[in-house]
Structure 1
């Protein structure tokens, strides 16, 4: 089994509920900033979120949110700080091997690093000071809801969740874009983006899906996702989506730039009302972000379906490695270059790796495929 995140969306949420969620997220964001300010450096060593929580309860600190809300925010923020610390430790491992020559010295250094005793060693302390700088918070749009602190119910064949608000015994009921078959479970993370509420929950995904028995070579394409060594084309229509959206964005941003120039001209001539009107009504990104999200979801569906079609037939998949950038000396013209820049080769590679974690097949990357005469 593999633990993955499922993202659900609030459907037709009214302005009052959205305002209440935003207000709660802002208060919890200030609490996150306070936690990072106080424990975002050396003070996080040799302590835990549980100890901090008990200390704050003992000090009778007052928060403008309910107890479970600030406790879960504390746990989440402190886990992020610890993750930041572990990343800093990982980044200096090569320096340890270079500085300490014997295996005994290296082992002792790694033990000190693991036990958070690196302050005693001057070399480790110096390296960690550079890698583990004081962090700060930039998250003001998230709410963490504990697994036993919300209710899931069905209304009009639609899944709803009921979460605590800022007022005790008063809850916010949120309709979701799913049914009870895919209801959220476990700890929830609510993220408010551009007046859209995302509900992140985790679930266990089966990893025992059977793969095929053959050997297939694949070539990542632009007009389609894959061309296989069996003379099959999978994921047809990829290039059509990319080209149409790239051309649409070109026209859209050309017009936006004209409006931006008008706004700057109005500001220069002290026509502030006109400039503010253009900025408010013509240069927003809410609709554009929604459209970007829809196109990305269409591309992901097409690419993942193509990946599963390959893996259902093959146990060994050989494909080209496109990590290296293409030659910058070659130009195909403005429009073609722009369209090629929108190619989602990274998403295709990530989809293959994720399918591997589900179906357990062998995947080999190479710059040139000598077995199947793929470029």
Structure 2
């Protein structure tokens, strides 16, 4: 039976100030190590260095470079390895996005696409292209008349588009511990401190014992231990049932069966958005007053405002409380969907909300900006893996703009989709049925360019 990863959490009781201070120092320095690695090795000139993780580590030891962080070697080595791994994953994601765009580009020949994919696969060639280093044309491409200058420029342009900012952590509240950095005894987890030979005993609320690399998270003078465990996926005994789902604004999901799940989504978003607008407006007024006092040279009044009115403790607590509530609601709605629909496969479009920018007005986008990006997709994939439900992503182009019955282009106003032939239907239900139908469409795959999709749909109508 297939195994999946589930994160188990252990909680501590309230810690004394010295222990929490020591853990905070470790977390902050751990963050600094990772930030240095991100800033030093995330660039295009470091692509070839990423395969030499041990060489970097040995160099830090040889020249005493790591001593500046005042951490036991095992901590900074773990932080270094973790950061390098994240950078490698980032480059893999960049290459994947470039490949997707290459597939969608109608102006490229098969030879052009072959060349670009070959360059992306070979790190040394990719490094040379990005750093404008000349190299001989490969034998397999010598007989093909390709515009190498244009193709190399295209690789660089797409890479710049998807590279994004250097990953950087501002809050040092987490760090990892491997099996050499902790031990369990008498209901406590004992974590290695910065003082040689001394460990910090942390009393836990349970007596479970684990033996793997885990994450320590600090908050409110307590800690959470996040432990990734492998568990068996549950067997799916349902009769074959493939459903399509569409993400909504007023509902979490609309299903091709005609049902809705997460109908309080709009209510949750509205309450928090209105609260945040009110709080932030007030804080902006206080910031302006604080800056005004500073300009007049009244530092004492400005400092009073900063200390008493512009703190982050209450602000972050309320935000965290809302996030927990909405996460709980998302999981409840997903459980309801799986329980009632009994699916063996779920067909869906990408659920990261990147295409909502042009789909909804400003007031709605402000609500969605409070969304926990990627959380729905992450939890949906986890639930599917846990219950042995297959999931398929489809090309979302025009799924909300055509009728699921006759294929005609119609008009969507609010929750209503109007087809010139089949009349009115709920817009999200219509989209979910189109998403399900798209799974069986042999002419439109996940990477078909949206212009080509429109052309195919128009030709079918003719």
TM-score tier after normalising by the smaller chain length = 0.7 to 0.9
Find the residue that maps to 2:122 and give its secondary structure: helix
In structure 2, the gaps of 5 or more residues are: 137-148, 406-424, 431-462
Q: Deviations over 1:65-115 (max 9, x none)?
A: 212112212222222333344344445545699599368755753553378
Whether the 8 Å contact between 2:66 and 2:76 is mirrored in structure 1 is no
Q: Deviations over 1:335-374 (max 9, x none)?
A: x997687678975555434322332145677427847962
The more displaced of 215-224 and 62-71 is 215-224
In structure 1, the gaps of 5 or more residues are: none
The more displaced of 195-204 and 98-107 is 98-107
Whether the 8 Å contact between 2:10 and 2:224 is mirrored in structure 1 is yes
- The answer to whether 1:268 aligns with 2:295 is yes
Per-residue deviation at 1:171? 1.2
Aligned alpha-carbon RMSD (Å): 4.6
Equivalent-residue separation in structure 2 for 1:33 and 1:220 (angstroms): 35
Query: Structure 1's 59 and 348: CA in aligned 2 closer, same or farther, altered over 3 A?
Result: closer
Per-residue deviation at 1:268? 3.5
Find the residue that maps to 1:144 and give its secondary structure: strand
Whether the 8 Å contact between 1:190 and 1:198 is mirrored in structure 2 is yes
How many matched pairs?
366
Query: Structure 1's 10 and 287: CA in aligned 2 closer, same or farther, altered over 3 A?
Result: farther
- The answer to whether 1:25 aligns with 2:27 is yes
Whether the 8 Å contact between 2:120 and 2:126 is mirrored in structure 1 is no
The more displaced of 97-106 and 51-60 is 97-106
Which residue of the other structure, out of 113, 128, 143, is the alignment partner of 2:175? 143
Counterpart in the other structure of 2:323: 296
Equivalent-residue separation in structure 2 for 1:260 and 1:12 (angstroms): 34
Counterpart in the other structure of 2:119: 109
Given the two structures, how large is their TM-score scaled by the length of structure 2? 0.62
Which residue of the other structure, out of 51, 56, 60, is the alignment partner of 1:52? 56
Counterpart in the other structure of 2:80: 74
Counterpart in the other structure of 2:449: none
Counterpart in the other structure of 2:16: 14
- The answer to whether 1:200 aligns with 2:226 is yes
Query: Structure 1's 43 and 134: CA in aligned 2 closer, same or farther, altered over 3 A?
Result: farther
Equivalent-residue separation in structure 2 for 1:358 and 1:230 (angstroms): 23
Equivalent-residue separation in structure 2 for 1:188 and 1:309 (angstroms): 31
Q: Deviations over 1:4-28 (max 9, x none)?
A: 4455555423322222122223334
The more displaced of 7-16 and 267-276 is 7-16
Whether the 8 Å contact between 1:36 and 1:137 is mirrored in structure 2 is yes
